[in-house]
């Protein structure tokens, strides 16, 4: 890999850069622990036991979670527990949540149960680190891509070629690809490559990215899953579309989001400031970073005023050994038909936000 260009090591705040040959965002090592992460690790919720009524405990915990950056609404924790479980009392709510999260016998002591619930949901511990690198291919040079890794690429402009396992594939503007293992990238085009280290995906070459997404997302936005997780938990590559006049709800993600603006323009608002986004911008969003995308009400921009290519290093989605299309639709007992139809009848989980 070419070593020319600016190198940013393990950023811990939202980063936006113009495409520059050799620009590297190296996140193979986690960023230094932030003050907020230290605060989360120091929290002791055992004092909540005997602290008063359910309402008093919920209000106290709501203030704690706001201070930890878990939510921005002190009433959110109580409302979320009731929506998730259907229970009205705090103890049964927490116990029901823990059972759903794989704890068959939740602790009887309330403070201990709440602490366990927050750890299970990633509110108190540092998230799992996923080593990766984002790189801007220098046009006219050869970029070497490492073995024992998977490389997700997108051509912003021009044309490039990928050579892997004895074959050479040309990739044009507005197309994407994924290469598992060693390869080389050459050509005069502008190509953004995100490498997920220590992961073996599947090699594939995609077509042009469409102008609107196939899946609904929050606030009227849409998403297309370009490269799906091979198995549940694996990385994925997405195209994310923002219509005109979008004022997105401020939110965060438990793992890195990085990629490029591939069409249109907009603004990303974070606690550290507002960041203009234009076609060709490269972005990196560290875990647990509040942000919101905004677009102008600009007539004539089409359905998407801003389109972003977003890489996720992990997921909570994908097939498993016990649940995938081949096995779900294989019948040699009536039981299998029941299970298959039941899966279809359940519908999309989490459709209501």
pLDDT digits (tens, 9 = 90+) for 226-276: 999 999 999 999 999 999 999 999 999 999 999 999 999 999 999 989 999
Over pLDDT 90: what percentage of the chain? 76
Q: Looking at residue 37, what is its pLDDT?
A: 78
pTM of this structure: 0.91
Express each pLDDT in 151-202 by its tens digit.
999 999 999 999 999 999 999 999 999 999 999 999 999 999 999 999 999 9
Contact 288, 127 (CB under 8 A): yes
What backbone phi and psi angles, to 5 degrees, belong to 217?
-130, -175
What mean pLDDT, rounded, does the chain reach? 91
- 30's tokens: 């986690």
> Phi then psi for 228, rounded to 5 degrees?
-85, 160
The reported pLDDT for the residue numbered 339 is: 87
Q: Where are the domains of the chain?
A: 7-13+20-32+129-208, 35-120, 215-312, 323-353
For residues 284 and 309, the answer to whether their CB atoms sit within 8 Å is no
At the fourth CATH level, the homologous superfamily of domain 215-312 is Jelly Rolls (2.60.120.10)
Residue range 40-78, pLDDT digits in tens: 777 777 666 556 788 888 888 898 899 888 899 999 999
For residue 341, is pLDDT > 50? yes
- The count of other CB atoms within 10 Å of the CB of residue 338 is 11
Q: Percent of the chain having pLDDT more than 70?
A: 95
Q: Which class would CATH give 7-13+20-32+129-208? A: mainly beta
DSSP percent split of the chain into helix, strand, coil, nearest 5: 20, 35, 45
Instruction: Report the Cα–Cα distance between both ends of the chain, in Å, rounded.
Output: 42
User: How are beta strands 7-9 and 24-27 bridged, if at all?
Assistant: parallel
- The number of residues making up the chain comes to 353
> Does this chain's domain 7-13+20-32+129-208 share its CATH topology with 215-312?
yes
Burial class (CB in 10 A: 0-12, 13-18, 19+), 296: middle
């Amino acid at each position: 890999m070419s070593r020319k260009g600016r190198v940013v090591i393990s950023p811990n705040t939202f980063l936006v850069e113009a495409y520059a040959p050799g620009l590297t965002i190296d996140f193979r090592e986690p960023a230094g622990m932030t003050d907020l992460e230290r605060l989360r690790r120091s929290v002791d919720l055992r004092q909540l036991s005997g602290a008063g009524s359910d309402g008093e405990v919920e209000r106290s915990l709501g203030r704690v979670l706001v201070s930890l950056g878990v939510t921005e609404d002190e009433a959110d924790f109580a409302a979320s527990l009731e929506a998730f479980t259907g229970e009205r009392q705090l103890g049964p709510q927490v116990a029901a949540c823990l059972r759903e999260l794989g704890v068959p016998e939740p602790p009887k002591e309330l403070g201990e149960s709440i602490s366990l619930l927050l750890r299970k949901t990633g509110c108190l511990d540092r998230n799992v680190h996923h080593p990766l690198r984002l790189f801007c291919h220098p046009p006219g040079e050869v970029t070497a891509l490492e073995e024992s890794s998977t490389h997700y690429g997108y051509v912003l402009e021009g044309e490039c070629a990928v050579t892997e396992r004895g074959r050479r594939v040309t990739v044009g503007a507005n197309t994407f690809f994924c290469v598992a293992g060693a390869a080389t990238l050459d050509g005069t085009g502008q190509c953004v490559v995100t490498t997920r280290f220590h992961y073996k995906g599947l090699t594939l070459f995609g077509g042009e990215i469409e102008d609107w997404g196939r899946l609904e997302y929050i606030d009227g936005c849409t998403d297309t899953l370009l490269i799906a997780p091979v198995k549940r938990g694996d990385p994925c590559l997405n195209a994310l579309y923002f219509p005109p006049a979008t004022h997105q709800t401020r939110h965060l993600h438990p793992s890195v989001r990085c990629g490029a603006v591939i069409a249109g323009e907009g603004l990303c608002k974070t606690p550290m400031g507002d960041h203009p986004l234009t076609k060709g911008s490269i972005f990196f969003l560290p875990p647990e970073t509040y942000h919101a995308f905004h677009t102008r009400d600009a007539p004539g921009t089409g359905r998407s005023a801003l389109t972003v290519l977003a890489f996720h290093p992990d997921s909570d989605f994908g097939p498993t050994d016990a649940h995938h299309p081949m096995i779900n639709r294989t019948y040699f007992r009536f039981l299998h038909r029941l299970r298959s139809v039941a899966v279809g009848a359940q519908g999309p989980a989490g459709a209501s936000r």
